[in-house]
Amino acid sequence: MITVQQNPVKVYVSVVNQQVMTDKHSSPWEYELTITKEYIPIFEHLFDQMNQLEFRNFLRSHLPYVPYHFDSDNHEIDIRTMKLYALIHEFTDTETRKFIEKLPYFRSVPAQQ
């Protein structure tokens, strides 16, 4: 079996805008990564999942009998956020790694229900 090694490319990730871009000037970004293109869909998939969960949270917010901290969608968003920062941590520079290691999402593991 022959495996194809792709050359790494620079991508720019905006967690705030939930975007991954190959052009650094196309939109504001927070993190610069060096990854192979096969990882780009992983970021896009995580962002899509977070968008869907946040929309469900929006709908749930109109039901006052479900407390925010008991809403399982919030925990799912936290899990996706941790995965996102773990990926960024894996493919970024040393300075950004040190910053991410200080984030609460990077250190904590959510309680399972």
Q: State the 10-residue block means of pLDDT for the chain, 113 residues long.
A: 71 96 95 95 96 85 70 82 94 95 73 49
CA distance 82 to 107: 9
Q: Alpha carbon of 29 to those of 15, 94, 99, 111: distances in Å?
A: 8, 18, 16, 31
Predicted pLDDT at 70: 67
CA distance 13 to 68: 28
CA distance 92 to 13: 10
